[in-house]
Amino acid sequence: MNMKGRDFLNLQDYTPGEIGALLELAEELKEKQKSNVPHPYLQGKTLGMIFQKSSTRTRVSFEVAMYQLGGRPLFLNAGDLQLNRGESIADTARTLSRYLDGIMIRTYSHADVEELAKYAAIPVINGLTDLNHPCQIMADLMTVKEHKGQLAGLKLAYVGDGNNICHSLLFGCAKVGMSISVASPKDYWPQEQIVNQARQDALSAGAAVRITTDPVEAVSGADVVVTDVWASMGQEVEKAERVAVFAPYQVNRKLVAHAKPDYIFLHCLPAHRGEEVVEEVIDGSHSVVWDEAENRLHVQKAVLAALL
């Protein structure tokens, strides 16, 4: 399946077959890395990495991914680029396209990433925007597949803010035939347009999308339970208000008792123990968050190898 030259901005842009192919490539690359089998698929190629938001997992996993694929990562602090002095996104895209083989960007505005991709002649990969986080959800799908042996037919419960993680989970679950139930306070529900798009894909895949204010209803019978921080980067001033609003949505022992006995717990990290999740859950036997964090490396290697 040829995906060379494509952008990776949103899981909605990829077919179920393409997502499946990327997951299979990620599994192959993980096995090769664990077996010390060299796989320099990107030898001589360079990935520019633009960061307007700080990161632990995104920066380290993309840098290591390029090294293991035989290529070179180039860290570009957005504050050091001419963007900071008024150069347009279009001109930056045109210039970087003459030097690099691909761009990964982690920023706030999804519209900025779309504009970068529009004018770049090389693949642009979304490392996170305020709208979605496709690389993280590819790692989530890989982790679920590893632990459950399948994706289609499972139920995933997301409890918390209807944010970028929630949006990409809606797209990702619907594409692979996994039902998803989202529990959020009504003022923090995911965007209606994204829910409607996910419902169309879910219908085609024989799955369902449910949005509710009741976390018990969402988690009941779930194979996978997911949450995220209540105040993301850029929302720090809202933290006190959000902690009060989201308190009934904490993932704790009482809530996960409604999930299936063999449920797994995911969190994209960093986690605020005692807020969105308690230690007993994130450090408990059902938690697979460290496998999930590791799989960022393998799925991003697959995306890079397929697109660059």
Mean pLDDT of 65-79: 94
Of the candidates 57, 167, 267, 296, the residue annotated as catalytic is 296
Of the candidates 68, 110, 130, 133, the residue annotated as catalytic is 133
Query: 80 pLDDT exceeds 80?
Result: no
Of the candidates 130, 268, 298, 300, the residue annotated as catalytic is 268
Of the candidates 12, 52, 136, 300, the residue annotated as catalytic is 136
Does the active-site annotation cover 262?
Answer: no
User: Across the chain, what does the average pLDDT equal?
Assistant: 96
pLDDT band at 78 (very low <50, low <70, confident <90, very high): confident
Q: How many helices, marked H, and strands, marked E, lie in the chain? A: 12, 9
Supply the pLDDT for residue 82: 76
The H or E element containing residue 269 is: none
Query: 235 pLDDT exceeds 90?
Result: no
Q: Which of 139, 241, 233, 150 is nearest to 187 (CA)?
A: 241
Residues 6+ apart with CB under 8 A from 260: 221, 222, 223
The span from the CA of 245 to the CA of 264, in Å, is: 25
Which tops the pLDDT comparison, 204 or 236? 204
Residues 6+ apart with CB under 8 A from 254: none
Q: Is the peptide bond before 270 cis (omega within 30 degrees of 0)?
A: yes
Does the active-site annotation cover 135?
Answer: no
pLDDT tens track for 9-23: 999 999 999 999 999
Of the candidates 57, 130, 228, 298, the residue annotated as catalytic is 228
Supply the pLDDT for residue 81: 79
Does the active-site annotation cover 166?
Answer: no
Mean pLDDT of 169-174: 98
DSSP state of 132: -
pLDDT tens track for 183-208: 999 999 999 999 999 999 999 999 99
Does the active-site annotation cover 136?
Answer: yes
Antiparallel, parallel or unpaired: β 102-106 and 124-128: parallel
Query: 121 pLDDT exceeds 80?
Result: yes
Does the active-site annotation cover 106?
Answer: yes
Decide: helix, strand or coil at residue 302: helix
Of the candidates 106, 110, 242, 298, the residue annotated as catalytic is 106
Does the active-site annotation cover 133?
Answer: yes
The span from the CA of 308 to the CA of 65, in Å, is: 13
Supply the pLDDT for residue 138: 98
pLDDT band at 87 (very low <50, low <70, confident <90, very high): confident
Alpha helices in 163-278 (DSSP H): 164-176, 192-205, 215-219, 239-246, 253-256
Supply the pLDDT for residue 269: 96
pLDDT > 70 in the chain, percent: 100
Query: 236 pLDDT exceeds 80?
Result: no
Mean pLDDT of 119-132: 97
pLDDT band at 233 (very low <50, low <70, confident <90, very high): confident
Q: Which of 27, 106, 57, 22 is nearest to 267 (CA)?
A: 57
Output the DSSP codes for 28-93.
Answer: HHHHHHHTT----TTTT-EEEEEESS--SHHHHHHHHHHHHTT-EEEEEEGGGSGGGGT--HHHHH
pLDDT tens track for 144-164: 999 999 999 999 999 999 999
Query: 234 pLDDT exceeds 80?
Result: no
